[in-house]
Structure 1
Amino acid sequence: MIRFYIQQAIYHLRENPVVSWISVLGTALSICMIMVIVITLRVRTADCEPEVNRSRSLYVPNMSYRAKGDLSGSSANSSMSVQTGRECFKALTTAEAVTLASNPGKVRVSLPAGAKLSADMVQTDEDFWQVFRFRFLDGKPFTTADVSSGLPRAVIAASVARRLFGRTDVSGQHVELNHVDFQVCGVVADVSMLATDAYAQVWIPYTAGNAEANSWGYNLMGPMRAVILARSRADFPAIREECERLRQKYNDAQEGVEVFYRGQPDTQFTHLYRTWSQEPDVQGVVLRYVVVMLILLIVPAINLSSMTLSRMRRRMAEIGVRKAFGATANELMRQVFLENLLLTCLAGLLGLALSYAATFVLNGFLFGNSTNAYLAGETSLTAGALLSPWIFLAAFLFCLLMNLLSAGIPAWRASRMNIVEAINGKR
């Protein structure tokens, strides 16, 4: 019986190809647009390698300082110094791990009398490799001892290793970073620029670079940002409370100035939409996404439902004939359901394929910004970032529901009509 229903669906698809394919393409485009929005948001917020702990991480990319007791709103805003990071965040006891890292900066990477290139470099600490999970192709990360001793160690990306050495198994080799000798201790798979907090092409201990010496504003400000890894999201309030206590303790030791966090540490979603001193309206952002998605679903669904309703009305006579030959109301409804399920499945698969194609084709448009333009990496997408089965399923079920309502209601009415009236197409 199911095979018969599938054959019927294919027959009706061929019988009215224009109307049927418009219906399929309309549903597919609705799902495509929804999925593109979800993918662009997902790559920034979901747990994806190497930022596999986004859901239980807190972020402090910038902070401010002002004169003690100054409530006029006047302040200086910047990223933090190593000293501030150590006192206010590395001293946390409620967190699983805390890393300090600089923003990516340009560095000249070269071999003595050999190849050279420009790369994006981050100065960080040993906890960086615990907060983020990199895929090491060779070697290992620099250690606590390396950071404490300020040893010139470097982890490099696979693309850098290939361009310099022609291979990735280069642990123990030496490279020059701005003409300073460093030993390669590990090689990791390339990181997408979409992993904004983990991205770089070269990573070194900040004690082996210039991060500690590069400070200003009473040694409060500097090049560093903090990422705090909680044991679970339930620890966020306790971590924020301890951050505030550490801030007050740090400020007590300052003469005439004080630092403040401007509502930080932030969750990943807030971190994504924060612009310096302005804390984003998270509920407003979520509401805008929901409204846009509903518009993208409802407007096409109404048009498609009208087309489906018109098609079903033309099939009243067919339903009446089937009823005259003994088909029950349940059998007629089951036929309508399976036919629409087949069409919606076809539209769903097409929409999913279109969303992936659109995301790759429009990669630069969707993910390009002024920061990415400065960096040398790529906005590559991982499978984990692309796959969002629950959102796809929700969009698919919504389209299926609209199609079933538009086709099912006339079919339900016809299944309960007098046979003669159904055959004559009366409603």
Structure 2
Amino acid sequence: MLRNYFKLALKVLGRNKFFTGISLFGISFTLLILMVITAFYDAEFGKNPPLSEKGEMVIVNRLQKELVRPDTTWTIDSTLMDGLMAYDSTYEIGEAVNSTSVSNPSFKFLDDHLRGLDGVRKYTFFSPGHDFNVFLENRKLSVAAIYTDAPYWEIFDFNFITGAPFGATHLRDASQVAVMTRKLAREYFGDEEKAINQEIEIGNRSYRVIGLVEKASTTSPMVAADIFLPVSTMEDQDLEGRGFLGNCNAVYLAENARQMPLIKSELSSRVAAVAMPNPEEYNRMEIIPVNFGEWYASELIDQDDPAKGLQQIRLVFGLLLLFFVLLPTLNLINMNLSRIMEREAEIGVRKAFGAYSGTILYQFVFENIIITFIGGIIGMILAVVVLYLINDSQVLPELTLGFNLRVFAYSILICLCFGIVSGLLPAWKVSRLQIADVLKSNQL
């Protein structure tokens, strides 16, 4: 039966090439956009190395100091008593923030106050966002570096091509060793196989390469770098500075997702309890621990509440996906209805010979799924080309969009839903046609 439906569907598609072409274009273009969005979402939020466990991460990347003073708010109430106005005043003592200083926490602050939390499997303190210019044979390379500790490599599961990460001994001895990406090894040494045990000059220091990793395919500054250096080799003022504000981040890996709210609460309590050295300048300090989604939203929009920022991001993406799916679906429903109504005569004949409405319904839905899958194949081919062009053009230099099996599975699911939704209503309508109605329309 399905084989006959398939043959009939191909013949029907060839009857009206214009409608078929318009339908295929609408389907393939829509799926192209959806698959590119899906590839972007998978690259940023999928469980991909080195961020395979992002769902259990609690991130600390902002420390805020405030000068808070009491603030009195007066309220005057009036009422009419015995023909005369009577006034009463009340006041409420609150607080006003006079000044604020916001930055990353310093390594010293994290080291002194934010170790040993309950419900945490592992945690790391690191300093991202360091940029160096490296000169080599009249060439200048811009190198992004992250200073890390040893647990960093246990939390972020980088794919090591060769060599190994630096460990606790390297950190203790402040060894000038480095892990670099395959991309930087090719640019600096010309051949990645020559990189191990070679020296590279970074920030007036010479580091020995002990490991090569694949470059992280994400825009996250927590892992997006060209080279990784021991945090103990940072400048002394960054490593041993007594101030609370600095250039470091902390990531805590929870034992399970249920522990994350408790970890956030303990972090906030610990910071609030830290004594301020100069209360006349700042007398209150707080942090806002976030999960990965909240952190990502805070990087895109300026929102004091990261949870609300994440809701706004999800709403925007949801509306965009709804627009890209709903609009072409409605157009295809109208086109399919017009195309299918041209086959009233066929439907009348089949019903006259005893065909059931359900059988006709299944046939037309199946035909629409076939054309949707053809459009889906075209869309997937176009998506592969577009993703290649995006990656090759370096429009998103820190992000590599891949058409992997997960994206392929999403695409197949989208094709199936698209075909059923856009074909079900027209198919149901024509399956309800009566033979008498077809005769009255002079189609037989």
TM-score norm. by structure 1 comes to 0.85
Distance 2:113 2:443 in 1: 77
Would you say 1:232 and 2:256 are equivalent positions?
Answer: yes
User: 1:11, CA displacement in angstroms?
Assistant: 1.0
Of 395, 410, 413, which aligns to 2:432?
A: 413
CA distance 1:119–1:17, shift in 2 (3 Å): same
Quote how far apart the aligned CAs of 1:383 are. Answer: 4.8
Deviation at 1:332, TM superposition (A): 2.5
For 2:111, the aligned partner's letter is R
Deviation digits for residues 138-160 of structure 1 (CA, Å, limit 9, x no counterpart)? 11111012112212111111122
Contact 1:40 1:366 in 2 (8 A): no
Residue 21 of structure 1 corresponds to 21
**Is the deviation greater in 148-157 or in 172-181?**
172-181
Among 323, 332, 338, the alignment partner of 2:351 is 323
Aligned match of 2:75: none
Q: Name 1:337's counterpart in structure 2.
A: 365
What is the alpha-carbon distance in structure 2 between the residues aligned to residue 154 and residue 125 of structure 1?
Answer: 12
- The code of the aligned residue for 1:400 comes to G
Matched with 1:349 is 377
How many angstroms does 1:295 deviate by?
2.0
SS of match in other structure, 1:285? helix
**Map of 1:338-377 to 2, 5 A cutoff?**
338-362=366-390, 368=396
**Aligned mates of 1:82, 1:409 — CA distance in 2:** 65
AA aligned opposite 2:369: L
Mapping of 1:44-83 within 5 angstroms? 44-67=44-67, 71-83=96-108
- Residue matched to 1:221: 245
Report if aligned partners of 2:50, 2:216 keep a CA contact under 8 Å in 1. yes
Q: Does 1:154 align with 2:178?
A: yes
AA partner of residue 152 (structure 1): Q
CA distance in 1 between counterparts of 2:232 and 2:400 reads 31
SS in 2 for 1:213: helix
Whether the aligned pair in 2 keeps the contact of 1:155 and 1:187 (CA below 8 Å) is yes
In the TM superposition, what are the counterparts of 1:249-260 in structure 2 within 5 Å? 249=273, 251-252=274-275, 254-256=277-279, 257=282, 260=285
Distance (Å, rounded) in 2 between the aligned partners of 1:86 and 1:60: 13
Indicate the structure whose relative CO is greater, using CA pairs within 8 Å and at least 6 residues apart. 1
- Structure 2 distance, partners of 1:222, 1:423, is 80
Report 1:275-294 matches (<5 A).
275=301, 278-280=304-306, 281=308, 282-294=310-322
- Specify the alignment match of 1:131 in structure 2: 155
Contact 2:132 2:142 in 1 (8 A): yes
Larger radius of gyration: 2
The residue aligned with 2:85 is none
Cα displacement (A) at 1:310: 0.9
Distance across 1 between alignment mates of 2:153 and 2:254: 15
CA distance in 1, matches of 2:352, 2:4: 18
Q: What residue in structure 1 maps to residue 86 of structure 2?
A: none
The code of the aligned residue for 1:283 comes to: Q
Kindly indicate whether residue 229 of structure 2 is the aligned counterpart of residue 182 of structure 1.
Answer: no
| SS state at 2:123 partner | strand
Code of the residue aligned with 2:179 in structure 1: it is: V
Sequence identity of aligned pairs in percent? 23
Give the number of the structure whose residues are more often strand, by fraction: 2
Please tell me whether residue 167 in structure 1 is matched to residue 192 in structure 2.
yes
How far residue 106 of structure 1 moved from its aligned partner, in angstroms, is 2.1
In structure 2, C-alpha distance between the alignment counterparts of 1:73 and 1:296, rounded to whole Å: 46
Deviates more, 1:302-311 or 1:117-126: 117-126
CA contact (8 A) 2:63 2:285 kept: yes
Q: Which amino acid aligns with 2:214?
A: A
Paired residue for 2:400?
380
| Closer, same or farther: CA 313–73 of 1 in aligned 2, 3 Å | farther
Question: Cα distance, 1:43 vs. partner?
Answer: 2.4
Work out the CA distance in 2 between the residues paired with 1:101 and 1:183: 20
8 Å contact from structure 1 (residues 5, 335) kept in 2: yes
Structure 1 residues 45 and 11, CA gap change in structure 2 (3 angstroms): same
Contact 2:61 / 2:250 at 8 angstroms: preserved in 1?
Answer: yes
- C-alpha separation in 2, matches of 1:366 and 1:397: 33
1:311 to 323, 339, 344: 339
**Which region of structure 1 is more displaced relative to structure 2, 153-162 or 270-279?**
270-279
Structure 1: state its 5+ residue gaps: 369-376
Q: CA contact under 8 A between 1:215 and 1:223: conserved in structure 2? A: no
Name the CA distance, whole Å, in 1 between partners of 2:96 and 2:239.
25
8 A contact 2:372–2:418 mirrored in 1: yes
Q: What CA distance in whole angstroms lies between the structure 2 residues aligned with 1:276 and 1:73? A: 20
The 2-side partners of 1:191 and 1:382 are apart by 12
Aligned to 1:207: 232
Q: Is the 8 A contact 1:62 1:276 kept in 2?
A: no
Residues 145, 228 of structure 2: 8 Å contact kept: yes
Secondary structure at the counterpart of residue 305 of structure 2: coil
Deviation at 1:77, TM superposition (A): 1.2
TM-aligned CA deviation for residue 217 of structure 1: 9.3
1:47–1:93: structure 2 CA closer, same or farther, 3 Å change rule?
A: same
Aligned length: 412
Q: 1:331 to 1:34 in 2, by over 3 A?
A: same
What is the alpha-carbon root mean square deviation over aligned residues?
A: 3.1
Aligned residue for 1:227, secondary structure, equals strand
Cα drift, residue 193 of structure 1: 5.0
Q: Secondary structure at the match of 2:193?
A: coil
